[in-house]
Amino acid sequence: MAKVAVVGPGAVGGTVAAELARVHEVLVCARTPFDRLEIETPDGLMVASPRMVCDVAKAEPVDWVLVATKAYDHASTALWMRALASPHTRFAILQNGVEHVERFAPYVEAASIVPVVVDCSASRTAPGRIRLRRAGSLVVPSSPSGKAFVGLFAATQVAVTTSTNFTTALFRKLCVNSVGAVPALLLKPGNIARIDAIADLMRELVRECITVGRKEGAELSDDLADVIVTNMQGAADDVMNSLHSDRARGLPMEVDARNGAIVRLGKKHAIATPMNQVMAALLEAVNVRD
């Protein structure tokens, strides 16, 4: 049994905290308190009552810290990470984007960080209340820490795998996420991709991400843009990506970690990313609150 802290018990964090509480000593580090976790899953209701703290001063060192806040909340998350750290603590970052290590390296040892690609469809309906539409899976690098992370979930329902080409897993997800900017900007469902001009724009967003990803070492096939756009075209009317749903709820969007990251890495490699640049600029402008 390991001591595990989950920072950010939202859709992803709440789900993994409830799963891990079956087998480990789990401490939930929350900003907004709640009575217990209730996860509506496709197989029924899952309820868990792990110990919860809302005050960083009450945190104590643990074996694992799982970070599941939004990428833009990194500075307040770091306060928890430092308070929960011991020399052997490992930090798993369950967030979107490709800069998991860079984001938290200013706060904890880079070697103690385990980046995690999250694939699931979950949303928080109220503090501690989560709707899991599709069971999730997690991918980690095939490193000793990645393998230890897989072991942490051994007796749970969460599928965790290692990847020998983790960069590919990261960029494949970023390619999918890059097109979410369009429905978020238009406030329309993803199947707006059925309009030819929108499909072309989305393909271009993905192609820019593919070019940048390949420079970073990802193996991405030429047809990925078509595959992603075809999926969007077939999506139901009520499917909303997280940028769109955050905007609809008046919350900030993780634009910088998604389209912003493509632009940043494009600049690093002198690759033009004009479509992602436009999307990032427009959505960052929406993010600015008066």
Indicate which single residue of 4, 5, 6, 7 sits in contact with ligand NAP (rule: CB under 6 A). Answer: 7
Long-range CB pairs of 171-174 (<8 Å, 24+ gap) are 171/98, 171/209, 171/210, 171/212, 171/213, 171/216, 171/218, 171/220, 172/218, 172/220, 172/224, 173/96, 173/117, 173/119, 174/96, 174/97, 174/98, 174/209, 174/213, 174/258, 174/261, 174/262
Indicate which single residue of 40, 107, 127, 157 sits in contact with ligand NAP (rule: CB under 6 A). Answer: 127
Sign of the Cα pseudo-torsion (143, 61, 160, 115, in order): negative
273, 208 Cβ separation under 8 angstroms: yes
Interface of this chain with ligand NAP, residues 208 to 237, rule: CB under 6 A: none
Cite the active site residues.
173
Q: Which stretch binds ligand NAP (CB under 6 A): 104-112, 113-121, 157-165, 182-190?
A: 113-121
Nearer to ligand NAP, 28 or 199 (CB): 28
Indicate which single residue of 17, 68, 209, 224 sits in contact with ligand NAP (rule: CB under 6 A). Answer: 68
Interface of this chain with ligand NAP, residues 128 to 187, rule: CB under 6 A: none
Nearer to ligand NAP, 174 or 199 (CB): 174
Indicate which single residue of 6, 29, 52, 108 sits in contact with ligand NAP (rule: CB under 6 A). Answer: 29
3-state class of 65 per DSSP? strand
Q: Is 12 in the site for ligand NAP (CB under 6 A)?
A: yes
Indicate which single residue of 8, 189, 190, 252 sits in contact with ligand NAP (rule: CB under 6 A). Answer: 8
Rg over CA atoms, the chain: 19
Residues at the contact surface with ligand NAP, assessed by CB under 6 A: 7-13, 29-32, 68-71, 73, 76-77, 80, 94-96, 118, 120-124, 127, 242, 254
